[in-house]
Amino acid sequence: MLKKTFVINGVSQTVEIEQETSLADVLRQKLLLTGTKVSCKEGHCGACSVILDGKLTLSCVTRAKRVPDGAKITTIEGIGTPDKLHPIQAAFKFHGAAQCGFCTPGMVLSAKALLDQNPDPTRQEVRDWLTKHHNACRCTGYKPIVDAIMDAAKVMRGEMSQSELEYKAPADGRVWGSKYPRPSADAKVTGTWQFGQDQILHLPANTLHLALTQAKVAHANILSIDTSAAEKMPGVFKVITHKDVKGKNRITGLITFATNKGDGWDRPILCDEKVFQIGDAIAIVAADTEEHARAAAEKVKVELEVLPAYMNAPDAMADDAIEIHPGTPNIYFEQPIAKGEDTKAIMDKAPYVVEDDYYIQRQPHLSIETDTGFAYIDKEGRLTLCSKSIGLYLHLLMIAPGIGLPPEKIRMIQNPTGGTFGYKFSPTMEALLGVACLATGGRPVALTYDYQQFMQYTGKRSPFFTHLKMAADAKGKIVAMESDWTCDHGPYSEFGDLLTLRGAQFIGAGYNIPNIRGIGRTVCTNHVWGAAFRGYGSPESFISSESLVDDLAAKIGMDPLEFRYQNVYRKGDTTPTGQDPDAYSLPEMIDKLRPRYKAALEKAKRESTPEKKKGVGVSIGIYGSGLDGVDGSEIEIELTRTGVTLFVNWHDHGQGADMGALGTAHEGLRPLGIKPEKIKLVMNDTAVNLNGGPAGGSRSQVMLGNAIKNGCEVLLAALKKKDGKFRTYDEMVAEGLPLKYKGAWSSSMCTNCDPQTAQGKPFAVYMYGVFMAEVEVDTKTGKTKVDALTCVADIGKINNRLLVDGQIYGGLAQGVGLALSEDFEDYAIHSNMLGAGIPYANDIPDKIDILYVETPREYGPFGAAGVGEMPLTSPHVAIVNAIKNATGVHCTNLPARPPKVLAGLKAQEKAATVVKPIA
Ligand code: MCN
Ligand code: FES
């Protein structure tokens, strides 16, 4: 132990530290200054940034013993408070620069350190600073953060009043369509938003800390598990194995597709007979501290018979491959598509036919917050699971039988969440927490994955291998498409069939293709399991169709944007599943883009050099808002003495569920003239909220939005008096009228897609995007830099501009990562943020333009569609198409990292130097 005195936020504090304690742990665990966030513990994310004697410092990799006595440390708590925001915090709030808020304290500290030494930076200097200090943000695409820092600098230089950074309500007080800051913004910019790891520090003293014994191989039979050595380790309370699990010990994927050859009960909570992937949980150690639990988890002895590991779909599909789940074939689901006439004859006689193979990688979600959660028994005796779940009711049903409790004995709460981007559409640690809490006699338990565990033992985007063929007639109209796609879904089947169906729904979406034949399949492998990822099936689909459309245009000799214009949906056209589109805005969207596109092409031509080649690419992207077929949501709304309380399960990844709910409710209650601050939100707890459905499939603004709208209508009807005025709270009570009402909505106009033809009406509302990327390729290194991105978006009427801008910036940034750098293939390289290719500020262009076309949607609340996934439908394809436009190199296998582009350039050179024999 070592005694140290630091001056923290101006207050002298003496602490006793152990030799290896990090500064972040001193701040968080000893002083409970939880505004400093910790995630990667490798200096890759910057969430833990503090200012130490005037220097920006990563507190998680700084040993406290090395910090000199008397050092002055500034943490987020020393910057400002919700009552008195620092200009940087006010600017972050104003620009919507805090979405999930997990990176925000580190970003604010980083900005403060920059402005202390350079009060008047350029935008590029801000980006260089954030990049150099590894301040990563996965939500915002960096642009709003740079905007905020530039404005804060102006205020700090006295060139702008801080009041200009305050939200100004429009004259009519309308919140819908405005830039009203999200209710959680103050807490996020001041670091007082309590994420799961922060709450764990406030759990009772008898809380047990958990650590996992995990598989180090990808496929094996378990011969024995010996916990005796682990049990003797210091601080250990219990070592839990599958024998302690009271239920079926399986997580069910709730399979709904009758044609699925599996039964959905394939993911063990704790492995019993087999290991299916690296990281699989075999035992849980519950101990007094996390360190003790982790040390003991290493001592659990597992004897294995190692089996062949199938790390990709082709290997698992080979004739001699054994069944990963004995009794279920590795190809366990197939989804054909058949629209219009048989395609063979049409293809044979079409004047223009193109085809190619594509691969899209296992994209990691890379939220800055790792996975974390805790569990306890509440005062009603319910097992209470608090996690990052974005599907509380869904997960409850998926894990209850495995744990061995009836659903009504389980309560689920979503913690403030530092981004998920879809990985939490699957339960990750919820069942482990539940099993551990029950096996330890109901003690509170807490579990946090380190970043490597998070990378290896939570789901990823499932790779697609696709072969696609398209034909056009002499006039340049697409007449037929043949598709064959294979989804590598890892070892667990949950939602794999649904993802495979997405291939049928979105390969070729956007165009009226009258004749389609194809088949997709889901394959079980031993790489990490497939989970939902923003766009879920659409980036996987568009990598093939939006690339091939460019080839078809080239074959015909048409400009790729004009070829698209000629073929996009118009009245009378149908989607690949035979549905009428809900909006025909693509021609208008392309019209909007055209002048910019022409200017970009000219600019690229002008500026291109043999060393730095410039190019422009376009793509279109479409996605549904909702789950397939009939989907729905329920909410409750209550009149209170002080206003209205809205009870809503609108799970918040970081997208702004609070603001989405508030904006919609305020619009619904406008006849009442209620102020937004009088609408209280009670969210994301199954004990108090009805089932709103998961926050996946960009469904919440549409589904929950409609339910909220309906709830408001029901409440207003109950309040209305004969004279047309509304009853007050006192009048309602005096008349004995109920104060609380239910709102509900369901997409009853939808139908499931047919299992043999994929024809159907799966979504009531769609989102549309047209993307343009401007890139520069360094021909010496093969490195691609995205100079600018433009997105024309039709997401219906906009609830909140800060939210939708933020969604689009963030989604586009993930598209850049998907195109150029991100992957989770090699466990040795890709198990941390840096190795997995997370984009930093300088990897994302400063020039990102969004152009809106607001077509009101018939089935959207107040005309709104969703937005969350639209910006990640196909920006990566625009980038790949731009690389091809710049260099002629066509990357059909993502990510287009420099060696691949370089190999393409070299192949071109070689081809050019080969002297062709004279015929
Ligand atoms: N919105 C709006 N006007 C519209 C449409 C939407 O203001 N016309 C707002 C909504 O109020 C909501 C947000 O935009 O706050 C997204 O709405 P919607 O598209 O309905 O999506 P959900 O609320 O269901 O959010 C989920 C969606 C998905 S599926 C993923 S994955 C995702 C995403 O949103 N993960 C995210 N956005 C994310 N953003 C952050 N910061 N972090 C994630 O993990
Ligand atoms: Fe930056 Fe979520 S707001 S990581």
500-508+535-578+589-623+763-906 sits in which CATH class?
alpha beta
Q: Which of 12-21, 382-391, 400-409, 478-487 has the lowest mean pLDDT?
A: 12-21
Using most ligand atoms within 8 A of CB, pick from 37, 40, 103, 146 the residue to mutate for ligand 2: 103
The domain spans of the chain are 1-192, 208-307+365-457, 500-508+535-578+589-623+763-906, 632-746
Which ligand sits closest to the CA of 188?
A: 2
- Residue 860 Cα: closest atom of ligand 1: 8
**Token pair of 748 as six digits:** 């009853």
Strands 612-624 and 766-778: antiparallel
Whether 798 is in the pocket of ligand 1, judged by its Cβ within 6 Å, is yes
Averaged pLDDT, 514-523: 98
Averaged pLDDT, 20-28: 96
In terms of Cα–Cα distance, which of 585, 575, 496 is closest to 540?
496
Question: What confidence tens digit (pLDDT) does each residue in 745-797 have?
Answer: 999 999 999 999 999 999 999 999 999 999 999 999 999 999 999 999 999 99
Using the mean position of ligand 2's atoms as its centre, give its distance from the Cα of residue 37 in Å: 12
- Is residue 190 within 8 A of residue 36, CB to CB? The reply is no
Using most ligand atoms within 8 A of CB, pick from 40, 45, 95, 99 the residue to mutate for ligand 2: 99
In sequence order, what DSSP letters do the residues of 870-890 get, joined into one string? GGGSSHHHHHHHHHHHHHS--
Whether 865 is in the pocket of ligand 1, judged by its Cβ within 6 Å, is yes
Whether 656 is in the pocket of ligand 1, judged by its Cβ within 6 Å, is yes
The pLDDT value given to residue 823: 98
Averaged pLDDT, 842-862: 98
Dihedral sign computed on CA atoms, order 877, 880, 885, 886 = positive
Of all protein residues, the one whose alpha carbon is nearest to atom 4 of ligand 2 is: 137
Whether 701 is in the pocket of ligand 1, judged by its Cβ within 6 Å, is yes
Question: Residue 914: pLDDT band by 50, 70, 90 thresholds?
Answer: low
Strands 11-17 and 55-58: unpaired
Structural element, H or E, at residue 290: helix 290-297
Which ligand sits closest to the CA of 654?
A: 1
Question: Residue 917: pLDDT band by 50, 70, 90 thresholds?
Answer: low
With H, G, I as helix, E, B as strand and everything else as coil, classify residue 724: coil
Averaged pLDDT, 132-151: 98
Query: Running DSSP on this structure, what letter comes out for residue 549?
Result: H
Whether 860 is in the pocket of ligand 1, judged by its Cβ within 6 Å, is no
Which ligand sits closest to the CA of 626?
A: 1
Whether 424 is in the pocket of ligand 1, judged by its Cβ within 6 Å, is no
Residues in the chain: 919
Which ligand sits closest to the CA of 418?
A: 2
Q: How many CB atoms lie within 10 A of CB 413?
A: 21
3-state secondary structure 448-509: ECCHHHHHHCCCECCCEEEEEEEEECCCCCEEEEEEEEEEECCCCCCCHHHHHHHHHHHCCC
- Residue 418 Cα: closest atom of ligand 2: 2
Averaged pLDDT, 127-147: 98
Question: What confidence tens digit (pLDDT) does each residue in 253-296 have?
Answer: 887 688 999 999 999 999 999 999 999 999 999 999 999 999 99
Which residues, at least 6 apart from 550, have a Cβ–Cβ distance to it below 8 Å? Answer: 560, 617, 881, 884
Using the mean position of ligand 2's atoms as its centre, give its distance from the Cα of residue 767 in Å: 24
Q: Provide the CATH number for the domain formed by 1-192 in this structure.
A: 1.10.150.120
Using the mean position of ligand 1's atoms as its centre, give its distance from the Cα of residue 213 in Å: 35
Using the mean position of ligand 1's atoms as its centre, give its distance from the Cα of residue 897 in Å: 29
Phi, psi for residue 829 in degrees, rounded to 5? -95, -40
CATH of 208-307+365-457, one of 3.90.1170.50, 3.40.50.300, 1.20.1440.230, 3.20.20.30: 3.90.1170.50
Using the mean position of ligand 2's atoms as its centre, give its distance from the Cα of residue 827 in Å: 25
Q: Active-site residue 825, yes or no?
A: no
Instruction: With a cut of 90, say whether residue 669 has pLDDT above it.
Output: yes
Of all protein residues, the one whose alpha carbon is nearest to atom 21 of ligand 1 is: 698
- Residue 797 Cα: closest atom of ligand 1: 8
- Is residue 701 within 8 A of residue 660, CB to CB? The reply is yes
Whether 871 is in the pocket of ligand 1, judged by its Cβ within 6 Å, is no
Using the mean position of ligand 2's atoms as its centre, give its distance from the Cα of residue 178 in Å: 22
The pLDDT value given to residue 919: 45
The pLDDT value given to residue 915: 58
Strands 372-377 and 383-387: antiparallel
**Token pair of 208 as six digits:** 């047990």
The pLDDT value given to residue 457: 98
Using the mean position of ligand 2's atoms as its centre, give its distance from the Cα of residue 592 in Å: 31
Distance CA 373, CA 371 (A): 7
Question: What confidence tens digit (pLDDT) does each residue in 809-839 have?
Answer: 999 999 999 999 999 999 999 999 999 999 9
Averaged pLDDT, 622-635: 96
Q: Residues of the chain with pLDDT > 90: what percent?
A: 98
Using the mean position of ligand 2's atoms as its centre, give its distance from the Cα of residue 137 in Å: 5
Four-CA torsion 336, 340, 342, 347, nearest 10 degrees: -110
In terms of Cα–Cα distance, which of 188, 193, 192 is closest to 90?
188
Whether 698 is in the pocket of ligand 1, judged by its Cβ within 6 Å, is yes
Using most ligand atoms within 8 A of CB, pick from 95, 135, 138 the residue to mutate for ligand 2: 138
The pLDDT value given to residue 255: 72
Given 42, 731, 869, 909, the catalytic residue: 869
Whether 36 is in the pocket of ligand 1, judged by its Cβ within 6 Å, is no
- Is residue 294 within 8 A of residue 502, CB to CB? The reply is no
Q: Is the fold of 208-307+365-457 the same as that of 500-508+535-578+589-623+763-906?
A: no
Query: 373 pairs with which residues across the strands?
Result: 447
- Is residue 768 within 8 A of residue 589, CB to CB? The reply is yes
- Residue 695 Cα: closest atom of ligand 1: 24
How many Å separate Cα 409 from the centre of its chain?
A: 30
Using the mean position of ligand 2's atoms as its centre, give its distance from the Cα of residue 104 in Å: 6
Question: Residue 916: pLDDT band by 50, 70, 90 thresholds?
Answer: low
How many Å separate Cα 184 from the centre of its chain?
A: 19
Which ligand sits closest to the CA of 39?
A: 2
Distance CA 634, CA 632 (A): 7
Residue 505: how many CA atoms within 13 Å on its side-chain side? 31
Distance CA 712, CA 741 (A): 9
3-state secondary structure 329-340: CCEEEEEEEEEC
Whether 872 is in the pocket of ligand 1, judged by its Cβ within 6 Å, is no
CATH of 632-746, one of 3.30.365.10, 1.10.3720.10, 3.10.440.10, 3.40.50.720: 3.30.365.10
Using most ligand atoms within 8 A of CB, pick from 174, 662, 701, 763 the residue to mutate for ligand 1: 701
- Is residue 55 within 8 A of residue 116, CB to CB? The reply is no
Distance CA 545, CA 358 (A): 10
In terms of Cα–Cα distance, which of 623, 545, 595 is closest to 869?
623
- Is residue 232 within 8 A of residue 211, CB to CB? The reply is no
The pLDDT value given to residue 918: 53
Tell me the H-state helices in 362-429. Answer: 392-403
Q: What is the mean pLDDT of the chain?
A: 97
Q: Residues of the chain with pLDDT > 70: what percent?
A: 99
Q: What is the crossing angle of helices 104-117 and 143-156, to 10°?
A: 40
Question: What confidence tens digit (pLDDT) does each residue in 691-743 have?
Answer: 999 999 999 999 999 999 999 999 999 999 999 999 999 999 999 999 999 99
Q: Which residues form the pocket of ligand 2, taking CB atoms under 6 Å from any ligand atom?
A: 98-104, 137-140, 368, 419, 654
Using the mean position of ligand 2's atoms as its centre, give its distance from the Cα of residue 786 in Å: 21
Does the pTM surpass 0.85? The reply is: yes
Tell me the H-state helices in 608-653. Answer: none
Which ligand sits closest to the CA of 106?
A: 2
Q: How far is CA 508 from CA 514, 517, 619, 840, in A?
A: 11, 12, 11, 32
- Is residue 448 within 8 A of residue 374, CB to CB? The reply is no
How many Å separate Cα 521 from the centre of its chain?
A: 24
Of all protein residues, the one whose alpha carbon is nearest to atom 2 of ligand 2 is: 100
